Amino acid sequence: MARILVFAKAPIAGRVKTRLFPVLDCAQAALLHRRMVLHTLVAACAAAPGKVELHCSPSAGHPFFNDCLAHHDMTLETQCAGDIGERMAHGLRAASRADPLLLIGTDCPARSCDDLRTAIEALEAGWDAVLGPVEDGGYSLIGLARFDPRLFADIAWSTDQVMAQTLARMKQHGFRCSTLPPLWDIDRPSDLPRLQSMYPALLEDIASHACVPD
């Protein structure tokens, strides 16, 4: 059965969800990030019981990740150095027909357990790859049944060209790719009203948490 790799940063105030400033302050953004990681892990562990790896940044030794390990059936790995393409390529390098890999981030709360199962089924049914696009032109999910580092080289990461460039690269190198319906992720203050409407628990009482001035 396919494994799911969840890429996540430790919820360190001032280092996560900074594009949500100033609508959220550093502590509120870190709390939201923490909740989104946990939300993602619930879906991943339900979709692939015993087959989830949490790939941690900056280190798997952070107390938050140890707490995650105590509450979920999974393993911990530390992400390698490099840009997001290099880190994803490193995580997916072992993908094969016998052991397909699905990699997800934690910024897309609408990415459900059913979505993950659909992606896994596509890989196990013979597709070379599966992508889960998001509305901003990127993707929040990539699965591979065979690995090629060229899929991650010279991509304009963090732009609206990521999905299109990746699909073009897959076509260039002979990958048959299944695509899931597009979803949305949480990157900017304008994303918060939709989050509040659809997943209010992720923002519950967040106003009561604030950075303490020096």
Give tens-digit pLDDT for 32-50. Answer: 999 999 999 999 999 999 9
pTM metric for this prediction: 0.95
In a domain, 195, yes or no: yes
In a domain, 213, yes or no: no
Reported as type and span, the H/E element at residue 47 is: helix 26-47
In a domain, 162, yes or no: yes
In single-letter form, the type of residue at position 200 comes to: P
In a domain, 163, yes or no: yes
Mean pLDDT (whole number) for 73-92: 96
DSSP 150: G
Write down the pLDDT at residue 163: 97
In a domain, 91, yes or no: yes
Please determine, for residue 197, whether its predicted confidence score (pLDDT) is greater than 50. yes
Give tens-digit pLDDT for 122-172. Answer: 999 999 999 999 999 999 999 999 999 999 999 999 999 999 999 999 999
Number of domains the chain is built from: 1
Mean pLDDT (whole number) for 75-97: 96
**Confidence at 176, pLDDT banded by 50, 70, 90:** very high
Torsion angle (degrees, nearest 10) of CA 199, 78, 17, 38: 20
Name the residue range of residue 15's domain. 3-208
Cα separation, 181 vs 184, whole angstroms: 10
**Confidence at 79, pLDDT banded by 50, 70, 90:** very high
**Confidence at 207, pLDDT banded by 50, 70, 90:** confident
Write down the pLDDT at residue 209: 83
In a domain, 157, yes or no: yes
In a domain, 214, yes or no: no
In a domain, 93, yes or no: yes
* Residue 88, domain CATH: 3.90.550.10
